[in-house]
Each structure stands twice: as C-alpha cells, then as structure tokens.
Structure 1
Amino acid sequence: MKFKLSILSSACLAAMLSTSAYAEPGNLVGTLSDSNKQVYFEGAQVKIKELNLTTQTRRDGTFRFNNIEAGNYTLEISYLGAAPIVKTIFIEENKTLKSEFTLTENNTVTEDIVVYGQRAGQAGALNMQRSADSIKSIVSSDAIGQFPDQNVAEALQRLPGLSIERDQGEGRFVGIRGLDPNLNNVTVNGVNIPSPEAGVRSVALDVFPSELVEGLEVSKSVTPDMDADAIGGSVEIKSLSAFDRAGESASVTLQASQNQLRSDTSPKVSASYTNRYSFGNIDDVLGIAAAVSWSDRDFGSDNIESNGDDEVEQRHYKINRERLGTAVNLDYRPDFNNQYYLRTLYSQFSDTEFRQANAFTFAGDDSEIERSSKDRFEEQQIFSISAGAEHQIEQWLLTYQAGYSKSSEDEPEALNYAFKTDGFAISSDLLGQIPQVEQQTGTTKLANYALDEIEYANNQANDKEYSFKFDLAKDLTFLNHPSQIKFGSKYRSREKQQTTQVTFFDGDFDDIDSGMFADTSPEWGLGEFGDGLNKRELRRFFNSQRANLDVAQLDSDIESRGESFINEEDIFAAYVMGKIDIDQLRIVAGFRYEKTQFSTSGHRVELIEDELSDLEQLDVTPWQVERDYDYLLPSVNVRYNISEKLISRFAYTQTISRPKFEESAAFQIIESKTAEDDDGVATTEREASVGNPDLKPFESDNIDFTIEYYPGGIGVLSAGYFYKDISNFVIYADVADQPQWQGFDEVIQPINGDKATLQGIEFSWLKTFENGLLLAANATFSDSEAVTLLDGERFETSLPNQADRVGNLTVGYEDEKWNLRLTMTHKSENLEEIDGDLLLMEDSHQQLDFSSKYYINQNMNLYFNAINITDEPFYNYFSERSRNAQYEEYGRTFELGFTWKM
C-alpha cells in the first residue's frame, strides 16, 4: 500500500512540473444561490461533462475550474432536494468566465428547502457529505437550531456514530464510534483548540454555545493535509462568516428555561449580525460578521456513590453555569483571485458549585461518618484568533494561516469543609442502584459532629498554542485524467501548565461548635439527608478565623508541589498528496510526516513519616524529561460513484493520538511510613502515584468502507464497516512489582497496553417526505478487544470508555407554521477503568428530548423544548448492575424562547 501511494504521489508531482498541454487556457468562476440571492448553497456537485471535471460549491456558494481549454462545454449542477441545473458555457482563451446560478430554475421545491429549518438543514448537510473526498458527517447551521441542544457537544450527538459524555446532565465531551474523546482532534476555523481543563487533551465542547456556530464537520477518515492525531476522528467547528449569507442579516433569540429538579428559571440571549461592503469594484468586498451568546443557568443534581465494598456517599449539588461566547470575523476579497480573513472566537464558561455530602464508612464499632462541603467557583476561557489568505496565482492555489489559541481554567479560593463523628450505629447492604443507609438517631444532626479539616485551594491550568501552516495545490491532467497535486507544512508549538496551590487546616478545632454551620436539610430525592451546611457561614468563619487556624504544612506541600507540572510540545508536519478522477472513481492519497519534540518538568515529592525516630519531612526533587519521536503516515481515500444515486467509499489511514498531559507529566507523589507492627518489628509501607513521561502515543491502522444511497429528494440510506488496529493504548495499573519500584506496596501509574482492536458497523437512514414528515435513524454497533501484559499476567478487556452501541432516532414534522421533533439518543454501557479486582462500568444511557417551533412569519418564531423527558439518571456500577458506584439524577428541563431573523 505504501509503495503504491508513493508511485501515485511521484507521478502527480512529475506531471505538475511538466508543461501544460493546453495553450492559453481559460477559467470558470461561479456562484450558486437562491433566486433572491439571500441563501448560498454549499456542497452542490458541479461538473463539466465533456472533461469529467468535478468540484463542489464552498460555504459561500462559489466554485472554480482552472486551466480549461477554450471551447463550448456542458455544465451540470446537482443539489439534493432540487432539480439539476444544466447549462452550456463557453470558455475563452486566457479569460475567466464569471457566472451566477440559481436553484429555482426548473425547480418547484427549492423554496421549501431554503425558507424553513428541517429541510434546509438536512439538505445542506447531506450535500456536503455526498461531495466530500473522505468519510464525513456534517451538521449545518440550520440543523443545529432544530434540536434542543445547549452547546456544540449536544448538537454533535445527533450524528451517526457520535455520543457524548455528560457532566451534571449536560453534554461535554464527544466520542466518535464509541471511542474516548481524548482520541479526537478539535479545531475551530482550522486552528487547533487546546483544552482548558487540567491534564487532558479533550476539549469540553460545552464551552461553545451553538449560536456561534455556522457548521460542524466530523471527519471519520483523514486525508494527508489534516492533523494525524485523530484516531477517533477530527471535529471542525466553523464560526459565522459574512460570506455565508448575502447582504445584511441579523438575528436575536430570547429564552427562559427551568430545571424541574431545582425549580429554577434561567435566561439566555443570543444575537448575530453580518454585512458586506463594496468599494466601487463589484468584486472588491469586505465582509463583517459578529455573534454573541449569553446564558445563566441554575440547576443541580442528586447523587449517591459507593466504593462497592464498605463506603456510601450521599451528595447534593446546587450549580450555576454562566456562558458567554462572542465571535467577530472579517473577510476581505479584493477580487476573485485573492481572499483574506481574520477569525476570532472567545468563550467564557463559569461554574459555581456548592456540594454537600454525607460519607458513611462501615466498620462495625469503628464505623465513621463524614459530612462535607465543597464550595468552588471555576472559570474556563478559550480564545482563538487566526489570520490567513487564499491566492489563485495562475494555476496554483496558495493558502496560508497563522493561529494563536489559549485556554485556561481558574479555580480561585475553593473552600472545602469536613466534619466527622463516630460511635453511631450505621449499616447498609450496598445493594441496588440506590443503596439505603440505616442510621441511628442523631447522625443527621450536624451538632453531633466535630470539625476535622478545612481545605483551601487556588488552582490554575493554562494551555496555549501557536501555529502556522501553508498549502499549495495545482490542478493538472495526468494520463488524460483530471488530477491535483497538493503539498504543505504545519508547525505547532504548545505549552500545558498545571499549577496547584492547596492548604490544609487540620487542628485547633476543639472549641468550635459545629452546630453553628447547620442549615435546613436540602431537598434530596434519594432518601434522608439530614442537616444541611450553611454556605455563607462556612465562608464567613474561614475568612475571619484563617489566621488562627493550624496549617498541615506537609500535606499541603505534597499536593501543591506534586500536582504541578509543565508540558511542552513542538510538532512539525509536512505532507504530499495527489488526487485523480478516473471516470467515476476519485482517489486521494499521500503521506504525512509528523515529528514531535516533547518535554515535561515537575517534581518527585516524597512524604517520609518515621514513628520510631519521630521524623516527619518532605523531600522534593525536580524532575525533567525530554524526548522526541516521529511518524510517517500514509493514507488513501477512494470514492466510486456506482450511479448518480449510489456512492461507495473506502479509506485506509494511519493515525496517532498523543497521551493525556497528566499521564505523561513528570510527577511522583510518594508516601513512606515506618512504624512497629504488633510483634515490635519495624516495617515501612510505601505507596506512590506517578506520571509516565515515557508513554508512547496511541498508534492505529484504520480501515473504513461505506456505501451511500441517495434515493432522490432529501434523504440518504448508508451503511459502513470500520476496523481499527490500535497499539500503545493507555491504562492505569499497579506497577509495584516492576524492578524500578522494588520495596513499594502500591504504585499507580499510566502504562501502555499491548494491543487492541475495534471494529463495527454503522447504519444511517434519513428521509423527508412531501407531506412534511421527517424520519431519521442511525446506529453504530462496535466491539473492542484490548490485551495488556503486566507482570507476566495477561488482562483482556474492552477499550476504556468504548461503548458497543450508539444510536439516534428522530421523528419530525414541518409545514409553513410548525416544526416538531421528538428525538432519542442511546449509548450502551462501557468500561471506565479497572479498580483493583473490580471493573468500573458506566451504564447505558437513553435520553428523550422534544423540540417545537411555531413560525409567526418567515422572520419570527416561538419555540418550546423539553429535555430529558423521561428523567434518565446517570449510573455507574462495579462489575454487576446491582453494585452501585454512582447514581445521579438531573431532572427535566423546559425551555421557552423567541427568535427574530432578518
């Protein structure tokens, strides 16, 4: 396969350097819009029949053919849901023909497509999917507004093979084909987005309000001009551009929502504006687009957790989440051969959480209860800016882009309290999804507890990246077939920093009456909770008494120094790829080379406690590791049009995914304790939690095959098979038996697994009917096998965070006044991690949502959404479903809103 790809690339390169066979060729530049020139159509297939030249319209409706011999030709334009356009064109020597085309000619259904949401959204997405060179799933801007989705993650879950991981009931991370979200690549306007969360690579897509997005594109197979770190896939977020729309446009949305569990009402406001300004010459145009979205949501959850053995914890959450997102984009096009752009995106996500908890430890007469609080404010910010240009220089297309993006997560002045008591009789059988606790009278009163510890923290994470890339492409003819050669390079420089500052106060609490912190019992729907904790009084007491509290300095230092690190990553990439059309066959093939220079710096922190010599000290040693690695990654994507309605695709790609930053960070937290046992013999227990800078990236060989049938109108029926052969996947394990950890009782460290395979099938069906009915269903069935060899023992499991079944079902109806949708999403159970001798499993999740719109007129509508109609909980368990690990309820959410568009 590699040899064949090399031949193709070399041949295309040789043809590129050869003299063109045509004398004084001409060019064609076109635009596809509706009759009013208010809507542009992306993804339409455009073909010059006599030359077998094919291209597709871009997001601004434009298309281009270069290097065409003078003469008469037949131009065919096809767009799902509309009648085809067939025109005769004449190309003159050394001239560029500029033409405008509208779908309304010979067409009676286009107005239904472009005016209202469901048909417009589905038509746009399907046309882009049909014309793509690789295997893609797409959400258009019109489709995003048809679901009750609060952010980008929830909008993506509707696509075939995609699922989401939720936090407090909201979608945050996106998994592709059931794989871990850390195995995806996320870009915004072509710029890689670093993760604001400490230690991870996966981007929590709930920080992006869906109102700022013009389109979402998920590539399940990559081409050489794309980043290689995409074993799961690549997610591209496209923000609004003035050239997405014609002339001036504006929109405003007002919304109120209510969470049933906490009975709170929350506001949301969003707006957008675009316009174009001409400077004399009709082709000299400046476009300005701006969008803003703000929401302030109050909600919560009821939770109960256990360790599967001897502990149960009850938790009550009250949460406020505020989102602010803005985008300002500029596009300047002095003529049809040159384009310049500036893209900006800013997102701020704040999360205020007050958690109250009761933790029960069952040990007979030594049983213990801890009542605790977690009072924290967390703010995440993402800023991205990119500037670039596109130049058509004779037959060469040059594009380049410089980008900067920064993400941060700040957790200032987090305050956690812990109160303890013992001597009370408590018991639980720990059975069922919601384990019940029997407790003696008095355990529910906070006055019967003693203040045990206060934790105060200021934590911060920063992740920033600079990038530059260029691409150079030329259309040519190779062996009498239309072809293209393309090559380019990209450089990325990234720094991830995690800073932890924690102070523990654990003494001089004897004179404190815990009853002073008591509050009314919170509304907790899973059983009896007891006294609540007064958030204001807890904060007031700490602020006034902080100077008088005893600091546990060693415990504070070990966590603060041990959990702080800096990782740096420089990635240089270069690629070459060729494209050729042989009748109905299109082949895109080439190589991508990526070299990574990685460094990490942190500390080896050891807490030494020796009761025999009354010694207690902390040893801190700097630790820094540098390494580099490189990959040469081939890929081939093949598309064969069996007929106008039937398309088959095949892809073979090699991809990688680099480890999480927290996994490869240079840190070691060690605790050594020496004491006499019952026989008077001195013994030392040593435990450690350590990073692994020597982790190798995931490596994967991927095979994809799909077949797509477009029966006419707006609809598709598709089926696909995928296979991934993955090596070096990462798991957490106890490596105390390894030679370098001799003398340790337990050492938890991320290590590379041996090998894993993932294979599955994917089905999708979508159909819109003339009577307004819409039906859509998709399902992905997959299976993984992972083998890890540890200390000579063979462990066989599935891949962590990989779900075997993912699916969506949608029933919709639309006419001139109403737009209705009932949707169901399903994700099957999956393995989270191996916890000792137990498997921690995430249970299946199935959620039902409803959305409706009433069109007052073409510019205004009212909408109502109902989210999580069946009040589906989140549930984790240990090995067996009756063995609770975590059960959490979120309640239903209802939204009522108004939208105006110009």
Structure 2
Amino acid sequence: MRSSLLLSAAVLAIPAPAFAQQALEGATPATGQSAEATADQVDESGAENEIVVTGIRASLARAAEIKRDSPLVVDSIVAQDIGKFPDATTAAALQRVPGVQVTVGGNNEIVNPTIRGLGDILTTLDGREIFTTEGRGFAFQDLPAEALARVDVFKSNTANLIEGGVAGAIDLRLNKPFDYRDPTIAISGKLNYASNAEKLGPQLGFLATDRWDTGIGEIGALINVSWYDIKFNRPTNYVAERRAGSALGQPGVAVPISTGGLNEYGSYSRPQVNGSLQWQASPELQVYADGMYTAYRGKFTTAFYEYQLFNSDSLTSVTVDTNCFDARVNSAGFNPNSIELAAGNFTTRNLCNMTGGTFNNTSAFTSSQAKNNKTDSYLGAFGLKYDNGPLTLALDASYQKSIANNENFIIDIGKKVGSVTVDFDNPDHTATITAPGNPMASATGFAFINSLFQDYVRSEGDLFAVKADGAYEVGSILKTIEFGGRFADRGALFEQVQLGVTPPGGSGANLVSSANLPSDFLVRAPGIAQINLGAPFLIPNREYLLSDEGQSTLRSFFGAPAGRPAFDPSRRFEAAEKTYAGYLQAGYEIPLGGITIDGKVGVRYTRTDRDIAGAAFVTPAPTPADPNPARVLTPYAASTSDDDWLPNASARIQFGGGLQARATYSKTIARPSFGSLNPGLNYIVSTNPNIRNGGSGGNPDLKPQMSDSFDATLEYYFKSGYLAIGGYYRDIKNRVFNDVTAETINGVVYNISRPRNVGEATLKGIEVSGQTFFDFLPGDLAGFGVFGNFTYADSEVGGGDPMAGYSLQGVSKYNFNAGLLYDRKGVSARVVYTYRSEYFDENRTGSGDVRPVDQANWLNYVRPNGRLDFSLAYDVTPQFTLTAEGTNVLRSRYRSYINDSYFIRDTRTDDSVYAVGFRARF
C-alpha cells in the first residue's frame, strides 16, 4: 500500500463541498445545516433565518425545497435538529426515501441501501467519494446518524458529479461552523433496549461550534463527537438444501440434509469524531480544513446448532404434501453438477416434498465462531473556494484510509442424539424442531468434530484525490458554464488465512472432557425459537476462544502450528487504480411566456488505469516423470484501462403555481469491485459429508457496468407539502451476477462461485410520493400530517443469458412507506410503516438441491416484509428535549424459500429496539 501521503494533515479533514455538492442550486447551504429554522443559524448569504417552525415539519419542508430546486431527480433527508436525524441510523433513515430498499444485517442493524433495487451506488461524504476498506461501497452504519446534517439521494446524474454509480449516488453531509452564527453546544444521550438481547446500550453525542472575527478574517471551528455501544441477539432457523432420501430408506422423498439454526449475539460500538475549520480570508476567498475518524468494534459469537439429518440410523413417521416433481438425482441423492450432467451420471426420479418426520440416532453439533472485528477509517481534506462576481472556483485535496482486521476462531463439538422430530408444514412457513430432553444443553457426550478453524482477514483501502471545479455566470439563455476535473489514486489490499485442522484421531475421536480445558469452557448460548421452543444450548466459550491462553491450548491439542498463522499468499491481492476525469457543462434558462424551462447539458470523460496482482496455487499438468505434481504458488497480474464518455441532459419546466415537470438523461458507470476482479481462487474440502466442496474466485475480465438512465417527473408544491409522480427507465449493460459451477481441481469436484457480466438488463418503474400537514384543521389538530411514497420496479435480464426473463437480484417489485406525523407546541411524533415485496437474494443454480427437471435456475426468494417504527419528542424547554422511539415494533422477520414457496429455508428474527433519550442545546 502507498504511504499515507496526507495522513499528518488528516487530523483535520472533510470539506466544505466543492461543486459536486452544489448541484442542488437554490437549496439549503451546501455545507448542510440543521432543519431547525432558529435565529442562531444563517443561510448561505449570511442573512438571519426567519423563525417559522422546527422539528419534523421543518425537516420535511427543507427536504421538499431541495427536491423542488434541484436540476436533478433527488430526494433528501434533513436533520430535525443538531444530532437528530429522523431515524436511529443512516441506513434506517434512507429506507424512507422513495425507491430505496434495505436489508437487516446479522447484528440487527439496517444495512445495504439500494436505489430501486440496485446496489451499485457511489457514496460521497460532503461531495467526496468514501468507501470501506478494499470495497467500492460504504458501510453506512459506520457513520452514526448523529453526525449528519443531511443526506441527498441522487437518482439522475450531471457531469459535475463523481462517476461510479449505475443506480445513483448518496451524499452524506456533516455540519460546518459557518452554518451557525452564535456559539453553540449540543449534547444528546440515549439508552437503547434490544428486546432479543434484553440489555441496555448507551449512546452519546456532543457538538460544539463558534466563529470569530479576527484581523485576518472570520474563522469558524466545529467539533462533533458521537459514541454508542449496542448489545444484540439475532436468532436464525434454517432448513438446508434437499436431497433424495434413498440413504434413509425414503427414495421418493425430498429430505433436507440438515436443519438447525444460529444465533449471532454480542455487542458492537462505534466511536466517531469529525472537526472543521473555516476561514473567510476575504469576501471572495474561503479556506477550509476538515477531518473525520470513524471506527467499529464488534465482539460477538455466531453460535451454530445443527442436526445432520442424513447422519441418522433411520427416518420414520414421514409425511409429505402434494408438491411432487420429477428430479434428476445423482448417486448421492443430490442434483447432478454440470460434469455429472454432461456424462449422464444421474437418474430421473419422482420426489415429494417432506413436511415432517422423526430422525433416529442422529448426529448433531454446535459451533462457536468467536469473532473480534475492528474497522478504522480516516478522512482528511484541505481546500479553498473563490467567489468573485460571475466566476466561482473551488479546489479540494483529500486523503482517506480505511482498515479492517477481523478475527474468527471456530470450534465445533458434536454428539449423537436419540431422536429429532421436524415439522415443516405450518402457515407461518417456518420449521419446528424437537429433540426430547434438549440433549444439546447437556455437556455429557460432546466430542470435538470437524476441525479447529482459524480465519483472519486484514483489508485496507486508501484514496488520494484532487478535484477542481469552476463556474461562470453568463446570463440570458446560457445561464452558466461549468467545468472541472478530478484525479484519484486508489489502492486496495486484501489478505486472509483460513486454516482448518482436524482433531487428533479424526472427527469425534476426542471427548471435550478429555482435553485440559477450564470448567467454563462450555457456556449456554441463547436459544432459537424454532428449536426446542427456544431452549438454550451449549457452545465453546467465546471469551476463551479469543484469549491468548485459549487459542494456544487449543492449537496444541489439535496439533496446529503454534501462534497465529501467517496470511496465505494465495488469499492475497493488491490493487492500484488511477482515475482521470474532466467535464464541461452548460446551465440554461429559457423564459417562454408564463413558463420557464431550465436545466443542464454536459459531458464527463473518465479514464481508469487499473493493476491488480496476487498469487494462486496452480497444479501443473501431469507428466510421465511426475504424474501427480504438487501445487505451485503462481503469481498473477492483470492490467486494464477504460475510457468512457458520460453525457447528460436535463430540462425542468416551471408552469407556475407550484407545478413543474422535469426530464433527465444520463449515462452512468459502476466499476467492478477489486474483490470481484481478483483472479485468485479459494476452495476448501468440506468436513461435513452432507455438504459439497466449495470455493470462490474472481474474474479479471469483468467489464464496468453501464446504464442509459431516463427519468421524468411531474411535481406539485403547495404551502403545506407536495405531490410528485415520476417514471424511470434504465438500460443496463454488463450487469454483474455470481454463478456457481462445478470445477475439477486435483481430481476433486468443487462448486466454485465466480462473478460474470450479464449482457443486458432493464429496470423501469414508477415512483409516487407526497407529504402534507392538515393546516385547515382547528386548534391542535392542525399539527397532524401524513407522508408516503410508493415505488414500482420492474426489472428483467435480457439477451441469451441463462437468467434471461428473470428479475435482477435484490430488486423488489413493490416498495412503500406510509407515515402519520404530528408537530405542534413542542411535540413531534412520527409513526411509519415500511414495506418491501418479494425478491431473490441468492442464485443457487449450481448447488446440489434436488429440483424439478424443468427448472433451469434455482433461486432463494425473500418473502414480503414490513416494519413499523415510531418516534416521539417533547420540548421541555426551547433548549431541552426528551425523546422516545421504537423500531420494528411488530417483530418483523426475514423469511425465505428456495424457488417454490413450500421449500422453506431461513427464518431470521429481527430485533425490536426501544430507546429513551434527551437533547440539550445551549
């Protein structure tokens, strides 16, 4: 990796935005201020804001103003007050934006926002590209919502915006000192209660800012600090892939190879600090230096609990339903892989879906994956803005670095249990699993099985970027000429070791009680609702597995090398990427009688030069002298260059009376992730006989995704709100999918997952949104309001691709938010229901699941899902506010199935979180 060129300066860093920020002309100050319209804040011209309203109403009004005045199709979220974003996390707030869909992560946080179902999003912080470690994307949860003043979701593009998002771009904005006229101190605190974990977690925030007139001009300073520590618990039940039940005396039944669950529980914390200095050196010149540090610390357990159903002596009391089908079956009862299919090594058999049965003398195991994950991210910037008459110039230099170190130490223990009864037939589409006496909660009979598995990852990324922007006001029809360029030097490094060592004598040969381990080596893990009614089960102690003593003792017992293993050279890649970009854009305004037409026309040119290098173990071709050659570590390198022209055009027609329409076109691009480009290969022989050998690899020949993007809207703004309807169309080339194919390596067949480009795909749909307050109602009833949005997204893979005719991965066809609001006399309240329809999140076509012979693709679908959240705030005084809130109060769950709804798969119990808190401002 390159040295930290600007790291010594990065203790100050992130910026008053350059012109990529100023695409939202006529909106709020580009630096992003609170939605509270009070006398201690000023607008961009320095004039005192009129005291009007505060809280939710002001926040929504500001967001509507941004939407109305932007030359782009954009939706925004504005903080209701300092440190008061409308939702607990950034990603949670984004799910309220029309067309934005999210998922729930393993620690119950809302993660992975997508725009109209597409995750290829460029994320910027104050107009500056930001990412997490070696990836292209940004982990939104790493920046606490308390630090934000505003978020803009761009759904169309202009030439001055940084390229990199086919789906769009999301810009996160921090507070700046010149947003405030008077000295300001804001303090916030909150106690979060997670219902699954049944524990409290603290959350704190602090902001201080001031500005001074000096002999060298006005100077402003701001510092913002936040921290929280959250306990979590997320149980999941799963039903694994199906296999013909011949080995259990049930050849006509599709039987799951295993069933069980996992519970991910522990805690995570996120400290964050950002600071800003602004210096108005003269009326024309402003200089700034800003900085940010964010971190993630997670120590948690993934506790597995599985019954290996095919490792049973017999299967009795079998029940099936009427869902029967003809399936291809290989000699092991699985769907044949491509090699077996080509050779004809299968039979065709009629199978019926199993809905229940009892497995006798069954193998079972539990596992403790002890995880200790750390991420540190830094960003720094220095720049200036010059504004003199018709000419505006900006120069910005920034450096950022993001580093992650993840540790995962795994021990599996198992035993035989007398019987396990399963029931997969219920209206809730979940499993019920019962083992009499709950044997997995008893320490008796546990042995070490499978392997001691050590997984260590270090990943990092850095970026040095310089950006220059300019604009010249011409006047008349040609309103502005905008121009600029950007240079970016990006680096990425990934290295990993995955080391599995079987116990001495083999799996199951050593009882846990025979090892020299402390008495508390086995601890109780929280239960899983679908297994023995949620009773706890025993697993190895996370704290012991993460301790130096514990790791040393277990390595010695398993015969693994002492000490932490070195990184595997075949699991390493390093990338360097240089990007050069320039743009030219014209803003125009045409008065036509009582209407006005304005917009932008421009083009952006980019060139990307990329090098990626690593190594892989390759087996040479056999020779008579060496018929079984050993694997050889073979270096590899790949270099690519791309040149792209990205035109854009937009038009807005203002009819007067609050009615306007707009139409936009832009060509957008998303570069492949470095991990996807890495041609290295990682594979492993499964220690579980019921699970096939697997692995993953990259594809250095991946092309950037391209999209021709069209949007059109009709918008009506009135005193208390707005209504808007829009249509969109995306013609996407080189969309990236992951496929699983069978590959023979050293005579062993592995299911290898690799990314590839899909030739073409389309995404089209409609968005409807609106908000209003009922000012016409009498008295305090006038404080009520509503907001809502609905998105229809119709996607389809085209061409001759194997997925032709299917929707794009991750795209829900329907998505909506509906909210009831109240804001009056110091009371602000909100209740919001968010719904997402079915979508598929995994392509399992290359897996071993038995399936109907006419199914060319085999996909994992997520069932429709909705969440209800609320928030309440009361201003005790103008300076002190009490708050209460709840998320997922209806206990929404992720539930999935494989291709046909009767093949139930996962049920993940998302948490409900309640919080009480305060905000004070002086």
Same fold (TM over 0.5): yes
Tell me, in whole angstroms, the C-alpha distance in 2 between the residues paired with 1:504 and 1:341.
51
Tell me, in whole angstroms, the C-alpha distance in 2 between the residues paired with 1:308 and 1:773.
50
Output one character per residue of 1:160-210: Cα deviation in whole Å (capped at 9) or x when no partner. Answer: 211222213211221112222xx10001122211223x6x42211011111
Could you say which residue in structure 1 is the equivalent of 2:113? 174
CA positional deviation for 1:722: 0.3
CA contact (8 A) 1:565 1:601 kept: yes
Q: Comparing 169-178 with 528-537, which one deviates more in the overlay?
A: 528-537
CA contact (8 A) 2:36 2:58 kept: no
Could you say which residue in structure 2 is the equivalent of 1:306? 239
Q: Comparing 722-731 with 159-168, which one deviates more in the overlay?
A: 159-168
1:666 to 679, 688, 696: 679
Could you say which residue in structure 2 is the equivalent of 1:640? 653
AA of the residue aligned to 1:721:
G
Note closer, same or farther for the CA distance 1:818–1:760 as it changes in structure 2 (3 Å cut). same
Q: Does 1:134 align with 2:72?
A: yes
2:793 to 782, 790, 797: 782
Could you say which residue in structure 2 is the equivalent of 1:58? 29
Tell me, in whole angstroms, the C-alpha distance in 1 between the residues paired with 2:620 and 2:418.
34
CA positional deviation for 1:769: 2.9
Note closer, same or farther for the CA distance 1:148–1:431 as it changes in structure 2 (3 Å cut). farther
Note closer, same or farther for the CA distance 1:629–1:609 as it changes in structure 2 (3 Å cut). closer
Could you say which residue in structure 1 is the equivalent of 2:195? 260
Describe the SS at the equivalent of 2:914.
strand
Describe the SS at the equivalent of 2:149.
strand
Matches within 5 A, 1:197-216: 200-216=135-151
AA of the residue aligned to 1:357:
F
1:235 to 170, 187, 198: 170
Could you say which residue in structure 2 is the equivalent of 1:23? none
AA of the residue aligned to 1:170:
E
Note closer, same or farther for the CA distance 1:333–1:291 as it changes in structure 2 (3 Å cut). same
Could you say which residue in structure 1 is the equivalent of 2:825? 816
CA contact (8 A) 1:301 1:888 kept: yes
Tell me, in whole angstroms, the C-alpha distance in 1 between the residues paired with 2:22 and 2:647.
29
Tell me, in whole angstroms, the C-alpha distance in 2 between the residues paired with 1:193 and 1:874.
29
CA positional deviation for 1:455: 1.7
Could you say which residue in structure 2 is the equivalent of 1:449? 446
Q: Does 1:495 align with 2:430?
A: no
Matches within 5 A, 1:4-403: 58-59=29-30, 104=50, 111-113=51-53, 116-142=54-80, 149-167=87-105, 168-180=107-119, 183-196=120-133, 200-280=135-215, 284-309=217-242, 310-363=257-310, 365=312, 368-393=363-388, 395-403=390-398
1:522 to 526, 529, 541: 526
Note closer, same or farther for the CA distance 1:550–1:575 as it changes in structure 2 (3 Å cut). same
1:578 to 586, 590, 596: 586
Q: Does 1:418 align with 2:415?
A: no
Describe the SS at the equivalent of 2:878.
coil
CA contact (8 A) 2:669 2:707 kept: yes
Tell me, in whole angstroms, the C-alpha distance in 1 between the residues paired with 2:542 and 2:641.
49
Could you say which residue in structure 1 is the equivalent of 2:465? 467
Describe the SS at the equivalent of 2:479.
strand
CA positional deviation for 1:670: 5.7
AA of the residue aligned to 2:95:
Q
CA positional deviation for 1:669: 3.2
Tell me, in whole angstroms, the C-alpha distance in 1 between the residues paired with 2:36 and 2:480.
26
Output one character per residue of 1:12-50: Cα deviation in whole Å (capped at 9) or x when no partner. Answer: xxxxxxxxxxxxxxxxxxxxxxxxxxxxxxx9999xxxx
Could you say which residue in structure 2 is the equivalent of 1:723? 729
Note closer, same or farther for the CA distance 1:741–1:634 as it changes in structure 2 (3 Å cut). farther
Q: Comparing 753-762 with 165-174, which one deviates more in the overlay?
A: 165-174
Tell me, in whole angstroms, the C-alpha distance in 1 between the residues paired with 2:262 and 2:211.
53
Note closer, same or farther for the CA distance 1:885–1:609 as it changes in structure 2 (3 Å cut). farther
Note closer, same or farther for the CA distance 1:430–1:552 as it changes in structure 2 (3 Å cut). farther
Q: Comparing 690-699 with 814-823, which one deviates more in the overlay?
A: 814-823
Tell me, in whole angstroms, the C-alpha distance in 1 between the residues paired with 2:755 and 2:648.
30
Output one character per residue of 1:131-173: Cα deviation in whole Å (capped at 9) or x when no partner. Answer: 1111111111227966662221112222221122221321122
Q: Comparing 257-266 with 880-889, which one deviates more in the overlay?
A: 880-889
CA contact (8 A) 1:194 1:201 kept: yes
Q: Comparing 288-297 with 136-145, which one deviates more in the overlay?
A: 136-145
Describe the SS at the equivalent of 2:281.
strand
Give identity over the alignment, percent: 21
Could you say which residue in structure 1 is the equivalent of 2:332? none
1:865 to 885, 889, 894: 885
Q: Does 1:696 align with 2:696?
A: no
Note closer, same or farther for the CA distance 1:567–1:101 as it changes in structure 2 (3 Å cut). closer
Note closer, same or farther for the CA distance 1:832–1:352 as it changes in structure 2 (3 Å cut). same
CA contact (8 A) 1:491 1:570 kept: yes
TM-score by length of 2: 0.80
Could you say which residue in structure 2 is the equivalent of 1:513? 512
CA contact (8 A) 1:257 1:265 kept: yes
Could you say which residue in structure 1 is the equivalent of 2:322? none
Q: Does 1:626 align with 2:639?
A: yes
CA contact (8 A) 1:580 1:586 kept: yes
AA of the residue aligned to 2:410:
N
Tell me, in whole angstroms, the C-alpha distance in 2 between the residues paired with 1:45 and 1:493.
24
Tell me, in whole angstroms, the C-alpha distance in 1 between the residues paired with 2:196 and 2:738.
36
CA positional deviation for 1:101: 5.2
AA of the residue aligned to 1:500:
Q
Matches within 5 A, 1:603-614: 603-606=615-618
Output one character per residue of 1:505-535: Cα deviation in whole Å (capped at 9) or x when no partner. Answer: 3232745434953334634333325532233
Tell me, in whole angstroms, the C-alpha distance in 2 between the residues paired with 1:172 and 1:45.
27
Could you say which residue in structure 2 is the equivalent of 1:849? 869
CA positional deviation for 1:424: 4.9
Q: Comparing 231-240 with 756-765, which one deviates more in the overlay?
A: 231-240
CA positional deviation for 1:436: 2.4
Tell me, in whole angstroms, the C-alpha distance in 2 between the residues paired with 1:164 and 1:150.
14
AA of the residue aligned to 1:396:
L
Tell me, in whole angstroms, the C-alpha distance in 2 between the residues paired with 1:375 and 1:492.
38
What 5-or-longer segments of structure 2 have no aligned partner?
1-20, 39-43, 243-256, 314-361, 687-691, 776-781, 846-856
CA contact (8 A) 1:80 1:123 kept: no
Q: Does 1:898 align with 2:910?
A: no
Output one character per residue of 1:595-620: Cα deviation in whole Å (capped at 9) or x when no partner. Answer: 1111211222258999xx99795432
CA positional deviation for 1:407: 1.3
Could you say which residue in structure 1 is the equivalent of 2:10? none
CA positional deviation for 1:838: 2.2
CA contact (8 A) 1:415 1:457 kept: yes
Output one character per residue of 1:630-681: Cα deviation in whole Å (capped at 9) or x when no partner. Answer: 11111101111011401111101000111222211121236799xxxxxxxx
CA positional deviation for 1:394: 5.3
Tell me, in whole angstroms, the C-alpha distance in 1 between the residues paired with 2:808 and 2:26.
39
Tell me, in whole angstroms, the C-alpha distance in 1 between the residues paired with 2:771 and 2:189.
31
Could you say which residue in structure 2 is the equivalent of 1:37? none
Could you say which residue in structure 2 is the equivalent of 1:834? 843
CA contact (8 A) 1:735 1:741 kept: no
Tell me, in whole angstroms, the C-alpha distance in 1 between the residues paired with 2:163 and 2:708.
12
What 5-or-longer segments of structure 1 have no aligned partner?
1-42, 47-53, 63-78, 83-97, 105-110, 674-684
Tell me, in whole angstroms, the C-alpha distance in 1 between the residues paired with 2:566 and 2:754.
17
CA positional deviation for 1:690: 2.2
